[in-house]
């Protein structure tokens, strides 16, 4: 799995990248929508982009719309990762072309379950934290 | 503006604990306390503004050690390796997430600003650097929390 | 000196086993503080062991119930494991709906429902993908040992962290409304479902028969004789042609030779044939 994390906060990118790596992903990162688009131009196309909403330069919603205007980028799933949890925000993101939505804060299980929902194969390389049940 | 209900202390504490334990692996417990003793006078101060059906700010202050713990947890590194810019990025994002969850308690629409980290100041400072223009805000909620003796407080300030 | 783990843990293990069939292994002592610590402090005891010590002496019925509840793992999520829900969407419901198009009724039972995510997931799936069943006689019941879990399920209020756990965003937007920092499931779905407490090991099972029973992630906590007993009584509650779904790590193999697994949609199900 190849994943792209787009968030203006380095610490949040670091959390997501760590979780995704543990789930078997190769992760690249961008700090705003515009530099994420630049990464997509270069390729290869990630299986999924995890995208924050509020970012300087180009926000997450603009990024989603821009990606969905390009047919060759269709296969990439997009999941918004945001502190916005109003339903109208979620509807707006889905309407723009996002496939899933996760609210901050989240746990590793939540990221894994959302990837499974999207049919993205995950591989639990490292089980840290409260994985599984006892 | 419609009449809005100010969230209770308990709700703010619950949000803080939820954010704390989910973004930091092996975080340790963040517990609610009544106040801090004298030894904690300096703190990392961060804030985020809410506008819309409610207008004011969420202000977070915590000891440098608590801030390092947050940054270390988020960056997945040891506390001694945390750089200054990582510290402010992490505290900023922590504030952003808490602010977003507090915003959700108010009737929409409300908007959240990007977080600001005012750097090191004093717990006693009601007006940390960067917030001078918020002189008219009054504090409506204040909760004190502690992680391994290190303080973290969250205030809700309303712009009336 | 207060009560020690050496005396408290065996008492707790016995109590939990007798009441629920749940087997706590010797090496799960660490769970005592993790699970009972909060309750202990809430009731004014310094530690989990002190609370157990009190329970040993007082034989307080409601306290014992709460101890058992706390030791039962309630971990759950929406659309758990995804595949079983794909199976319902692609195979189970299309087949049931066409077979039952005349009597227009369906009975579904989530038999260890925890806080309700499992049953509500089924209810949303039916409503969303099979709107033709909206005027059917739908019986959607959820039962669990834990009173606390059942009262939360009835309320249908979930934290943002719980909402994040496997719930498709589209369904969040469609079926929930905000309640402060939390989310509540729609009144329509709450009215369509019914939750009550039920102990699978000791209680009489609900009357009537079911077209689909979810008995997921609960057998794993039982010993072999209890697994056999629960499995066979649940199997007896299925209509002919009815479906049984277990958790992804559970199986009837070695427990009930006549209940045969069928693989489909990346998961396993069990279907009762006329003769069984
Ligand atoms: C891990 S949860 C599974 C929830 C849900 N079925 C799922 O798969 O996500 C297990 C549930 O089984 C319940 N349970 C344990 N022993 C039980 C018994 N003897 N009778 C009824 N419920 C029981 C627990 O209270 C707990 O809520």
pLDDT, one tens digit per residue, over A7-29 is 999 999 999 999 999 999 999 99
The whole-number average pLDDT for the span C43-50 is: 91
Whether C245 shows a pLDDT value over 90: the answer reads yes
Domain range annotation of chain C: 5-72, 83-271
* Averaged pLDDT, B42-58: 90
CATH 3.40.50.150 for domain C83-271, yes or no, is yes
Pocket test for ligand 1, best of C74, C121, C142, C144 (most atoms within 8 A of CB): C144
A134 pLDDT higher than 60: no
* CA distance to B136, C38, C215, C221, per residue, from C248 (Å): 58, 31, 11, 14
- Give the mean model confidence (pLDDT) for residues B149-154: 91
A133 pLDDT band, cuts 50/70/90, is very low
DSSP bridge partners of B158: B56, B138
Comparing C-alpha atoms, which of A45, A53, A43, A38 is closest to residue A101?
A: A53
When the pLDDT of each residue in chain C is averaged and rounded to a whole number, the result is 94
Query: Is residue C172 scored above 90 in pLDDT?
Result: yes
Q: What's the CA gap between A134 and C59, in Å, rounded?
A: 27
pLDDT at C61: 87
Tell me what pLDDT residue C60 has: 85
Closest residue in chain A to residue C76, using alpha carbons only = A133
Instruction: Indicate the pLDDT class of residue A125, thresholds 50, 70 and 90.
Output: confident
Residue keyed to tokens 């609370």? C51
What is the pLDDT at residue A129?
43
Statement: residue A93 has pLDDT above 60: yes
CB under 8 Å, gap of 24 or more: what pairs does B134-143 form? B134/B57, B134/B159, B136/B160, B137/B56, B137/B57, B140/B6, B140/B56, B141/B6, B141/B7, B141/B8, B141/B9, B141/B12, B142/B9, B143/B9, B143/B12, B143/B13, B143/B16, B143/B32
**C172 contacts in chain A (CB < 8 Å):** 87, 90, 101
Q: B49 CA distance to ligand 1 centroid (A)?
A: 43
DSSP state string for B24-46: STT---EEEES---TT--EEEEE
Q: Three-state SS across chain C?
A: CCCCHHHHHHHHHHHHHHHHCECCCHHHCCHHHHHHHHHHHHCCCCCHHHHHHHHHHHCCHHHHHHHHHHHCCCCCCCCCCCHHHHHHHHHHHHHHHHHCCCCCEEEEEECCCCCCHHHHHHHHHHHHHCHHHHHCEEEEEEEECCHHHHHHHHHCEECHHHHCCCCCHHHHHHHEEEECCEEEECHHHHHHEEEEECCCCCCCCCCCCEEEEEECCCHHHECHHHHHHHHHHHHCCEEEEEEEEECCCCCCCCCCCCCCEEEECCEEEEECCCCC
Quick count: other Cβ atoms within 10 Å of Cβ C186? Answer: 17
For B74, which of A15, A86, A106 is closest by C-beta distance?
A: A15
Grade residue C265 by pLDDT with cuts at 50, 70 and 90: confident
Q: At what angle do helices B84-103 and A10-22 cross, to 10 degrees?
A: 90
Q: The domain C5-72: what is its CATH number?
A: 1.10.155
Q: Averaged over B35-41, what is the pLDDT? A: 60
Integer CA distances (angstroms), A95 to A90, C10, C170, C172, C214, in order: 9, 56, 10, 14, 34
Looking at the CA of residue C203, tell me the nearest atom of ligand 1.
20
pTM of the model: 0.92
Q: Which two tokens stand for residue C274?
A: 């006329």
CA distance B94 to chain C (A): 16
Query: What is the model's pLDDT at position A128?
Result: 45
Across the interface, whether the CB atoms of B97 and A129 are under 8 A apart is answered: no
Higher pLDDT residue, A112 or A126?
A112
pLDDT of A132 higher than 60: no
Q: What percent of chain C has pLDDT over 90?
A: 82
Q: Each residue of C55-96: pLDDT tens digit?
A: 999 878 899 999 999 999 999 999 999 999 999 999 999 999
How far is Cα A108 from Cα C249, in angstroms, rounded to an integer? 20
Q: Ligand 1, closest atom to CA C20?
A: 19
pLDDT tens digits, B113-130:
989 887 776 655 555 566
Report the distance separating Cα C157 and Cα C165, nearest Å.
Answer: 14
Mean pLDDT of A87-104: 96
Of C99 and C61, more confident: C99
Q: What's residue C37's pLDDT?
A: 87
A130 has pLDDT over 60: no
**The domains spanning C5-72 and C83-271 adopt the same CATH topology:** no
Q: Ligand 1 pocket by C-beta < 6 Å: which residues?
A: A 133; C 20-22, 72-76, 80, 112, 114, 118, 144-146, 149, 199-201, 216-218, 221, 247
Share of chain C above pLDDT 70, in %: 99
> Which partners does chain B have (≥3 C-beta pairs < 8 Å)?
A, C
The answer on pLDDT for C186 being more than 70 is yes
Q: Which of the four pLDDT bands, split at 50, 70 and 90, describes residue C273?
A: confident
Q: Which two tokens stand for residue C198?
A: 């039920």
Helix (H, G, I), strand (E, B) or coil at B155: strand
Distances from the Cα of C108 to the Cαs of B101, C140, C195, C210, in angstroms? 36, 5, 12, 6
Interface confidence (ipTM) of the complex: 0.90
pLDDT higher than 90, residue C190: yes
Measure CB to CB from residue B105 to each of C159, C161, C180 and give the nearest one. Answer: C180
A34 to each of A56, C115, C133, how far by Cα in Å? Answer: 9, 42, 46
* Minimal C-alpha gap between B37 and chain C (Å): 24
For A2-115, CATH number? 3.40.50.2300
Q: Does C181 touch chain B (CB under 8 A)?
A: yes
Residue labelled with tokens 């959820």: C142
**What's the pLDDT score for residue A49?**
98
What CATH architecture does domain B9-158 belong to?
Answer: 3-Layer(aba) Sandwich (3.40)
Locate C100 and state its tokens.
């039952």
Average pLDDT rounded to a whole number, residues C152-181: 95
Identify from B100, B103, B104 which residue to disrupt to test chain C contact, counting C C-beta atoms within 10 A and taking the largest count: B104
Can you give the three-state secondary structure of B50-77, one letter per residue? EEECCCEEEEEEECHHHHHHHHHHHHCC
What pLDDT is attached to residue C32? 84
Q: What is the pLDDT of residue C7?
A: 86
Categorize the per-residue pLDDT at C26 as very low, low, confident or very high, splitting at 50, 70 and 90: confident
Render pLDDT for A24-73 as a digit per residue (tens, 0 to 9).
999 999 999 999 999 999 989 999 999 999 999 999 999 999 999 999 99
């Amino acid at each position: 799995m190849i994943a792209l994390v787009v968030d203006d906060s380095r610490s949040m990118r670091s959390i997501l990248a760590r979780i995704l790596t543990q789930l078997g992903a190769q992760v690249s990162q961008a700090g705003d929508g515009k530099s994420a688009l630049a990464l997509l131009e270069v390729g290869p196309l990630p299986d999924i982009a995890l995208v924050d909403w509020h970012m300087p330069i180009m926000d997450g919603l603009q990024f989603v719309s821009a990606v969905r205007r390009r047919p060759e980028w269709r296969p990439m799933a997009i999941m918004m990762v945001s502190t916005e949890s109003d339903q109208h925000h979620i509807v707006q993101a889905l309407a723009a072309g996002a496939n899933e939505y996760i609210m901050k804060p989240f746990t590793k299980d939540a990221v894994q379950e959302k990837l499974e929902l999207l049919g993205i194969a995950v591989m639990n390389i490292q089980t840290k934290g409260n994985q599984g049940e006892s | 503006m419609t009449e809005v209900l100010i969230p209770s202390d308990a709700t703010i504490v619950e949000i803080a604990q939820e954010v704390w334990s989910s973004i930091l692996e092996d975080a340790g417990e963040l517990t609610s306390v009544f106040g801090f003793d004298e030894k904690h006078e300096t703190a990392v101060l961060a804030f985020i503004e809410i506008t819309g059906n409610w207008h004011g700010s969420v202000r977070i202050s915590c000891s440098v050690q608590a801030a390092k713990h947050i940054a270390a947890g988020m960056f997945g590194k040891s506390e001694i390796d945390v750089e200054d810019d990582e510290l402010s990025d992490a505290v900023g994002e922590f504030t952003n997430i808490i602010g977003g969850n507090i915003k959700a308690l108010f009737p929409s629409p409300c908007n959240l600003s990007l977080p600001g980290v005012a750097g090191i100041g004093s717990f006693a400072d009601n007006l940390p650097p960067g917030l001078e223009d918020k002189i008219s805000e009054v504090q409506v909620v204040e909760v004190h929390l502690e992680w391994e003796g290190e303080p973290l407080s969250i205030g809700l300030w309303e712009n009336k | 000196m207060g009560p020690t783990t050496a005396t408290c843990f065996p008492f707790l293990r016995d109590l939990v086993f007798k009441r629920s069939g749940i087997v706590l292994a010797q090496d799960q002592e660490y769970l005592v503080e993790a699970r009972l610590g909060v309750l202990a402090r809430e009731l004014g005891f310094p530690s989990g062991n002190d609370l157990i010590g009190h329970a040993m002496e007082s034989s307080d019925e409601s306290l014992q119930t709460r101890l058992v509840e706390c030791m039962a793992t309630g971990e759950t999520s929406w659309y758990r494991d995804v595949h079983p829900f794909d199976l319902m969407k692609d195979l189970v419901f299309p087949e049931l709906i066409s077979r039952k198009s005349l009597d227009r009724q369906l009975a579904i039972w989530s038999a260890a429902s925890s806080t309700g995510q499992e049953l509500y997931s089924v209810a949303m799936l039916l409503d969303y993908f099979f709107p033709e069943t909206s005027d059917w006689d739908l019986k959607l019941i959820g039962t669990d040992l834990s009173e606390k879990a059942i009262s939360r399920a009835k309320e249908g209020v979930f934290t943002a962290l719980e909402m994040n756990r496997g719930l498709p965003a589209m369904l969040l937007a469609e079926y929930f409304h905000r309640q402060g920092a939390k989310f509540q499931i729609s009144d329509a779905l709450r009215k369509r479902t019914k939750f009550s407490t039920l102990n699978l090991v000791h209680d009489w099972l609900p009357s009537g028969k079911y077209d689909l029973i979810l008995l997921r992630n609960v057998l794993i906590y039982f010993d072999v004789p209890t697994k056999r007993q629960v499995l066979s009584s649940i199997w007896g509650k299925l209509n002919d042609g009815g479906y049984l779904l277990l958790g992804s790590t559970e199986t009837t193999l070695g427990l009930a030779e006549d209940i045969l697994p069928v693989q489909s949609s990346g998961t396993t199900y069990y279907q009762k044939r006329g003769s069984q």
